[in-house]
Structure 1
């Protein structure tokens, strides 16, 4: 009856296998939405599985049976929470909840701190410029400014020195794409899902990659030159690597809050920009279909397990003597 509870805990295992081809065969925007929704759904499904296992362990106690006027014999015969399964499930659920809440709190606090720090930086042509010899450029979500909706684009003096004005405009287009599409919400959702279920960490890494690809494509669309975007991203990544040892601490908190143009596997991103752009999902319908099937399975298993618990309580209530 309760085999679906265990299915909920195992659904995250094939997530990475499905996610990798999805990042390659779908356009970045569709891939980001699909991966983020999948991560959130699977995290909720695994949490529901742990909750049901912990709940069924409580139902097997004399106290719960007496309070609910249920048959203890029916409850013990119909629940899978034997031995240490239920206590371990409860401990895992509490641990995941505490870790997720802590991650959310740290992210929100870092974002607010970064927004305040970015607001203090001097502006130049609509950009917040940090006096830092390390080559950095990133989006800081927060207060709306002329630099973009809902945040600021921060560029270090080291990055400005490493790039030409045309290349800086490409980099800024990339970062503003992050702000326009609010990519930090996708990344945060995936990271919270991975905190709740560590098996989803590969999925969170894929989301971090696809938001960068999404911003790359938006920058290419804005500038009309995919090769220039590819060249700029590669040059910025090399400049960041070359100056990384000289990173200054005061602006370190800014890097914790938003995606960066030099983040992710840069050679893979450059290769994607040099290739023809994606034309949509029709050419590869199998990948999103498998992902949709995975999410649908998680939802059906949750519904089935909840129905099993409800039906068990009905039977236990109708039975006499416990």
Structure 2
């Protein structure tokens, strides 16, 4: 068990760079789902591994052993590092639980504050503000928050691109992808490397949706570029919830280049190479989940032996 529980904890060292490269080769929508799902699997596996490690140490405590009618010497895996490792695992679990609750409450607080400041009768909430910014604000109902400064920076057709981009964020529930990734990072800090490519994939997903809605990739690229330039003239303009997405977010030059040089038939690495990398990611996920299952089986078997139930 002591060997198996380390696999999910150390897997991000290998898996995160591979996932980042895979995201570069996948269409935006597929990349976003891959990164978000991978974050959930790795964070869940590492958390379960910590729980098993903490449980293995707790079962050796006399009060816990007596409660479970266990004989600690028969539990197996008597490595001298087990008890201190179990203590560290318990502390990590407690810290992770605290961080998840704090992050979840902060996300909820930010969304509530943004909605309270963006009351509107319809989808569009226009703020009388010279600072140029706009973002998608999910809720009931979903809203697009935009300032008069941003509206003046764009012409009529470019505004349609802006609205189509933000509608794509709302329709795709992109804020949930970001919220999930942020919570995964609180559980396993090594997953931090997936957050930036995920945010980029979500922006590219919305870019492609806007290009499809308007039927003009060049117009979409120009509107995104002009909106970003307008926002860049006022650094820090427009605070928004961290999980709310905006057309000006991320590496805008890279996004504009992608719109001008790609189409529905984007040139990508050879299919065999993409499949090989996808297979590697699948192996990483299966190894993490399988290691947790193996560790859980070993712990359960040890408990049965300590309870004298091996004959059953």
Ranges in structure 2 where 5+ consecutive residues have no aligned partner? none
Give 3-state SS (helix, strand or coil) of 1:14's partner.
helix
Describe the superposition over 1:119-154 as per-residue Cα deviations: whole angstroms up to 9, x where unpaired.
15x87xx5211112111010000122xxxxxx1111
Give 3-state SS (helix, strand or coil) of 1:129's partner.
strand
1:287 corresponds to 2:277: yes
Residue 312 (structure 1) aligned to one of 289, 302, 312: 302
1:143 corresponds to 2:143: no
Q: How many positions carry a matched residue from both structures?
A: 306
1:1-322 alignment to 2 at 5 Å?
1-75=1-75, 77-78=77-78, 82-120=82-120, 127-144=124-141, 151-244=142-235, 247=237, 252=239, 254-277=240-263, 279=265, 283=271, 284-318=274-308
Following superposition, the deviation at residue 109 of structure 1 comes to: 2.1
* CA contact 1:53–1:86 (8 Å) conserved in 2: yes
Following superposition, the deviation at residue 78 of structure 1 comes to: 4.7
Following superposition, the deviation at residue 307 of structure 1 comes to: 0.7
Counterparts of 1:77 and 1:296 in 2: how far apart (Å)?
24
Following superposition, the deviation at residue 77 of structure 1 comes to: 3.8
Q: CA RMSD in A?
A: 2.2
* CA contact 1:54–1:81 (8 Å) conserved in 2: no
Counterparts of 2:154 and 2:242 in 1: how far apart (Å)?
23
TM-score under structure 2 length normalisation = 0.91
* CA contact 2:72–2:306 (8 Å) conserved in 1: yes
Following superposition, the deviation at residue 158 of structure 1 comes to: 1.1
Counterparts of 2:276 and 2:226 in 1: how far apart (Å)?
36
Counterparts of 2:79 and 2:226 in 1: how far apart (Å)?
59
Following superposition, the deviation at residue 223 of structure 1 comes to: 1.0
Counterparts of 1:80 and 1:115 in 2: how far apart (Å)?
54
Following superposition, the deviation at residue 287 of structure 1 comes to: 2.6
Describe the superposition over 1:259-289 as per-residue Cα deviations: whole angstroms up to 9, x where unpaired.
0101111122112112223548983222322
Following superposition, the deviation at residue 231 of structure 1 comes to: 1.6
TM-score under structure 1 length normalisation = 0.89
Counterparts of 1:201 and 1:228 in 2: how far apart (Å)?
34
Ranges in structure 1 where 5+ consecutive residues have no aligned partner? 145-150
Following superposition, the deviation at residue 255 of structure 1 comes to: 4.3
* CA contact 1:141–1:257 (8 Å) conserved in 2: no
Counterparts of 1:78 and 1:315 in 2: how far apart (Å)?
14
